[in-house]
Amino acid sequence: MNDLRPSATIRMDALAPHLADDAAAWAERLGLAQEGEAQFALQLGEQGLQLVELGPQAPGPVRVDFVEGAVAHRRLFGGGSGQMIAKAVGVQPGVRPRVLDATAGLGRDGFVLASLGCRVTLIERQPLIAALLEDGLARAALDRDVGPIVAHMCLLTGNAIELMSDWQGEPPQVIYLDPMFPHRDKSALVKKEMRLFRPFVGDDLDAPALLQAALALASHRVVVKRPRKAPIIDGGKPGYALEGKSSRYDIYPLKKLPATNCP
């Protein structure tokens, strides 16, 4: 996702007096004002950080919650290793690859993979979204059931192309990309999030460069999530694809994933 656009005005709000110091710390870190007129607000409340559009017709806030809500329902009832994303990254009996989610967003796909036993590194370059994700991971770490899952997730904030190009240490086995394109998901949740995020992020016009950086770094495969009928990203033809009702996973295999003695 792209960097913060200066045309969108946003301020930092504390929703309770005892959270004022923590809100001030977030404001300083993100370069946000704490007063004045604004179109949006990053708010710190009892349930953590949330991004909200201000105004009478605005939708509700968006926050990252790995413990309850839609993400929890998917963890419990989403189909486990039979999910298409699991098949796309190569999850199978005895195989749980190390995954780099280079376009993390709100972390839902990364959390699904971590819940299946993968170690997942997340990269998010949009500062506000990275803040929401960092806060959600910190709160989830305190939960008895979800804490062990997010312990397998690590967040990096920055430009994914640069971070992949300068990668130090063992490369990820699988790199997962979900560039910011207008997905065809019509759910109310996605509509609300897109309305909030559009002033701050745009389509990933550098997707071809992102794909090339991923292909240069991944040791075993690259997976790109696309709208079902969208063209492939310029820069290489996938080996095969998995297609669902609204989305498609283009898979660029490099070599066979090894067993890791996982269930």
The pLDDT tens digits of the residues spanning 52-80 come to 999 888 788 999 999 987 776 566 655 67
- Sequence-ordered list of residues with C-beta below 8 angstroms from that of 10, at least 6 positions apart, any chain: 32, 38, 39, 40, 41, 42, 128, 200
Kindly state whether residue 33 falls inside one of the protein's structural domains.
no
Kindly state whether residue 47 falls inside one of the protein's structural domains.
no
Any known ligand binding at 28?
no
Alpha helices in the chain (DSSP H): 20-30, 70-77, 84-89, 108-115, 127-140, 147-150, 160-165, 188-197, 207-217
Kindly state whether residue 26 falls inside one of the protein's structural domains.
no
Prediction pTM value:
0.89
Asked if residue 51 lies in contact with residue 61, where contact means CB atoms within 8 angstroms, the answer is: yes
Please give the structure tokens belonging to residue 17: 């007096």
Kindly state whether residue 104 falls inside one of the protein's structural domains.
yes
d(CA 41, CA 34): 9
Q: Are strands 120-124 and 174-177 parallel, antiparallel or unpaired?
A: unpaired
Kindly state whether residue 39 falls inside one of the protein's structural domains.
no
Asked if residue 101 lies in contact with residue 214, where contact means CB atoms within 8 angstroms, the answer is: no
The pLDDT tens digits of the residues spanning 10-53 come to 999 999 999 999 999 999 999 999 999 999 999 999 999 999 99
Confidence of residue 198 (pLDDT cuts 50, 70, 90): low
Q: Which domain, by its residues, includes 234?
A: 70-253
Kindly state whether residue 15 falls inside one of the protein's structural domains.
no
Kindly state whether residue 148 falls inside one of the protein's structural domains.
yes
Domain of 168, CATH number, reads 3.40.50.150
Any known ligand binding at 178?
yes
Which pLDDT belongs to residue 190? 56
Any known ligand binding at 109?
yes
Counting the structural domains of the chain, the total is 1
Any known ligand binding at 22?
no
Any known ligand binding at 124?
yes
d(CA 62, CA 191): 11
Kindly state whether residue 16 falls inside one of the protein's structural domains.
no
